[in-house]
Structures are given as C-alpha cells and as structure tokens.
Structure 1
Amino acid sequence: MDIPRIFTITESAHRIHNPITPEKLATLGAALRLESGARVLDLGSGSGEMLCNWARDHGITGTGIDMSRLFTEHAKLRAVELGVADQVAFIHGDAAGYVSDEKVDVAACVGATWIAGGVAGTVELLARSLRTGGIILIGEPYWRQLPPTEEIAKGCLATAIADFLTLPELLASFDRLGCDVVEMVLADQDGWDRYEAAKWLTMRRWLDANPGDDFAKEIRAKLTSEPVRYATHTRDHLGWGVFALMPR
C-alpha cells in the first residue's frame, strides 16, 4: 500500500503537503483553543507536521494514518525531532473507513477528502470518531474565481469545474451537512507558492541524482511544464482552506 510515486518524489522534501504554511498551521492550532491532553485523529496525516507541532505547542496527543510509507517514516522522525514521540503515533495504512477506538476531541482530514468520496462522506466518517462537542477539520480546495472553461479547470489539475465549489458555496455545503462552521484558516498566495515551487527544486535534484531511472522522463516533463501551468492556472483560480466544523 502506497501513494503514486510521483508524489513521493515531488513532495519528498515537504513537511506540509498542502498550501498552508507553518505560520498558518500555528494560527489554526491557536484558533481551535486546543487544550493539553486533547486527542486528535488525522486521516491522511502526511509527514505529521500538524500533529507533531500541536503536540509540542499545545500538549495534544494524537494518531495519524497515511498511505505513504515515506511520509509516515518522515512523520515518525519528526516526532522524535520535536520530542513528542510519546504523544503522537503514526500508522502506515489506508485512512478510508478508519474509525478511532476511542472518541477524539478533533477529527481531521486536511487535504484528502477523496478517502471517503468527497467532503460529505469525509465529514460522516470523521464524525464516527468524534466525541460530543468535538471539532471536525476539513482541508479542501475551492475556486477563488470560477474558471471560464473546462480546459482551465483541468489546468488547475481538476477533472472539471464541478470538482470544487466557490468559498461561499463550500461554506453553505457544510450547513447542509448539519454542521456549524466555527473557524477557518485559508491559505494565502505565499503558501501556494511555497507548496508548488518547492517541488521544482526537489524534481531537479532528483533528476540530477537519478538520470537513468525509468521515471526520469516523466519527472523531466513535469519539471518543464509545472512552473508555467501553475502560474497560468492554479495561482489565480484555486484557493485552499482548513474549515473547523461542529455537528449540530
């Protein structure tokens, strides 16, 4: 079980696998008013930066589940580096359908709602692990401005315009799911640039180190096209945020 190799190459140097910055991640932790000892479940935990930082800064305990062997190992190393290995655990596994044995204070899926077929399914899945009065965290893209054509939407790596909602539509969708939106932290332009542009140096370094690899042709093509694709499409059209929800 693992994620496609393209991600373990392009994001191998990332600590955060979405456009949120470390500063925004800290803002989110403070905004949630996390208390020492709070239990957090993170489905699609990536390299563990959220759980590890919140364990250090707020004293939470937590469990992260991720399909990537590489990112899970990175998360375990990060926990040791920050001195929180006794507070957080990272499991290499499929987060789809995962329900915690013990109810948690925060149940999160930050950027991987595909695990339950989209936002609605992910909210339902997370709610199964949540204590009464707990908070669900959903990380999700939205259209900053609607693409004028399906071709431009595909340039944002969507399959169609219908893949994402505008920000007001996304917030309204949470209400229809029976949840109050109680906080949100949105990625900014710098966060997007850091997330996307950091991949380019990683790809170039990988190509220099692996010229004969069977995957080199695909990485070369991606490195050649990605800067212009991102600047032309994603940078102006796509937003991203983490939304805190409380079921009614």
Structure 2
Amino acid sequence: MTAPDRLKFTTIAHATHRYLSPLSPEKAAWLIDGLALREGAEVLDIGCGRAGFLLDLVERSAVSGLGVDLNTTFITSARAEAARRGVEARVRFVDQPLAKAVGDAARFDAIVCMGSSQAIGTFAEALRWAHAHLVPGGVALFADGFWRRRPDPGYLEALGGATEDEMTTHAGNTRVAREAGFRVLATACASDDEWDAYEGRYCAAIERYVDANPADPDAPAMAARIRAWHDAYVTWGRDTLGFGFYTLLKPASREP
C-alpha cells in the first residue's frame, strides 16, 4: 500500500476546520484583541490555510491582510470566504512560497504564524525572520508545538520518526522568542477540548471521505493513516503534545 498524497490528505482532513490548529473562536478573539492593532495596520499571515483566523482579524479590526499558503484549494476557499464576509477589499491571498510572495525589503505591522514555522525553517529561524520583517513596535503572534511531558518512543515513531529535540517546552518556546529579540506580551495554550475538537474533525473528515469514496485508489492508505494517527493521539498525543500561542513585540526602543 502506497502512502496517500500529502496535499490531498491534508486538504480533505481540514475540510471542516475553521482554523487549521487547535483553537476555539473564543480564544481566537482574545488573541486578536491582544494584538491591539492600530487602524490601517498591515498584517502578514504565514501558512494561512483557508484564512479563518486572518479573516476574523480583518473583520474585528480595521486592518488589511496578506495571506500566504502553498495549498491552492485553501487559497481559493479563503478568497471565496473573504467575498462572503464582505472584506475582500482589505485582504489578498497568494499561493506561492513565502520567499517569493514576500520580498526581503517588505515590512509589516503584524505577522501571524499559527503552526507554520516550517514555511521558513525551525521555530527559532521563523521568529528571527518575523523580527526582521516587522516595523519597530510591530507585533507577532506565533503558535507552535511543545512537549507537555517527555515523549514516549512509540509516539515519536508514530510521528514519522520525530526526535525529542525537535521541540522544547512551553517555557522553552518563550525563551526562544526572547532570544530572537522579542518581548513576550502574553502566552496561552490549547486546551484539551480544543485539541479534541481539532483532532476529532481531522479524523472524521477522512473517515467520512473514505466511506463515501470506496473506489478511490487512495482510500485504503488514507484509512490506515488516519486510524494510526488517531490511535497515537488518544494513546500518547493528548497528554504529550502541547500547542502554545505567543504574542510578541518587536521593541521600538532599546531594552531598558
């Protein structure tokens, strides 16, 4: 059995998600308010997916946004949703690599990166990139994984041969942000309920797809993958993998 196409799998698996991360609308609103953006601010969302968060931000604040994601299906959906919400004049979307979509000289008032650090490199590299592309006094909202406890070797294997040193702790993530030059304004973590909602939708979307499309040659591999993934989540992931949100400030002046 060959592995299912990664892009096809993730597109189907996230078909019913508002956000492509373990995040509730209530926490999203709190995070948006915490950015305290001025009117007319320009916001970059790295790996925006279907742009649920960016569109919430543009609706809630008088700002403009640029969403970048390689998934053309997600970008098409984001454009349609922007039009439905009536904010298409204040947001644009690009389905290109970040390096092509955003030039070296580009600067933003705010940068959002919700679990998409890999678009740049490591978490630390993504933070440094964001710091360089923010105006002084600009803000960033990063979300990234962390270990809630030491991962079981079986869980690391289930994650595709991950290693423990690929992530640190929640406190470790905040230290990495400070080392990149940011001041940490606030932090938060995904709750168990947010994780269950995210993983439940992820699993259900694939199971419903393979049930409705038994003739798809990818269906057996997709079914095997989602069942192994969900088993790893309930066995280890729910108690091991955390997801942190970090609201950060690029200082406008020297550190006191």
The answer to whether TM tops 0.5 is: yes
Alpha carbons 2:14, 2:202 under 8 Å: kept: yes
Residue of structure 2 aligned with 1:189, choices 192, 197, 210: 192
In structure 2, what is the Cα distance between the partners aligned to 1:110 and 1:157?
A: 21
Alpha carbons 1:146, 1:166 under 8 Å: kept: no
Return structure 1 stretches of 4+ with deviation > 6 angstroms: none
Tell me what 2:124 maps to: 120
In the TM superposition, what whole-angstrom CA distance separates every residue of 1:182-217 from its partner, at most 9, and x where no partner exists?
122321111111111102221122113321112111
Tell me what 1:146 maps to: 150
Q: TM-score, normalised by structure 2?
A: 0.89
In structure 2, what is the Cα distance between the partners aligned to 1:25 and 1:91?
A: 23
In structure 2, what is the Cα distance between the partners aligned to 1:202 and 1:235?
A: 19
AA matched with 1:34: L
Alpha carbons 2:143, 2:244 under 8 Å: kept: yes
* Unmatched runs of 5 consecutive residues or more in structure 1: none
Q: TM-score, normalised by structure 1?
A: 0.91
Q: CA offset at residue 50 of structure 1?
A: 1.3
AA matched with 1:237: T
**Structural RMSD (CA):** 2.0
Q: How does 1:39-78 map to 2 (within 5 A)?
A: 39-78=42-81
CA 1:137–1:158: 2 relative to 1, 3 Å: farther
CA 1:140–1:96: 2 relative to 1, 3 Å: farther
Tell me what 1:14 maps to: 17
Q: CA offset at residue 48 of structure 1?
A: 0.6
In structure 1, what is the Cα distance between the partners aligned to 2:141 and 2:220?
A: 38
Tell me what 1:204 maps to: 207
In structure 1, what is the Cα distance between the partners aligned to 2:208 and 2:244?
A: 30
**Aligned residues, how many?**
246
In structure 2, what is the Cα distance between the partners aligned to 1:131 and 1:76?
A: 27
Tell me what 1:108 maps to: 112
Alpha carbons 2:170, 2:244 under 8 Å: kept: no
AA matched with 2:145: P
Is 1:177 paired with 2:176? no
Is 1:91 paired with 2:100? no
CA 1:158–1:139: 2 relative to 1, 3 Å: farther
CA 1:129–1:198: 2 relative to 1, 3 Å: same
Alpha carbons 1:156, 1:234 under 8 Å: kept: no
Is 1:162 paired with 2:187? no
In structure 1, what is the Cα distance between the partners aligned to 2:224 and 2:218?
A: 10
AA matched with 1:202: A
**Residue 86 of structure 1 aligns to a residue in which SS?**
helix
AA matched with 2:122: G
Q: CA offset at residue 174 of structure 1?
A: 1.7
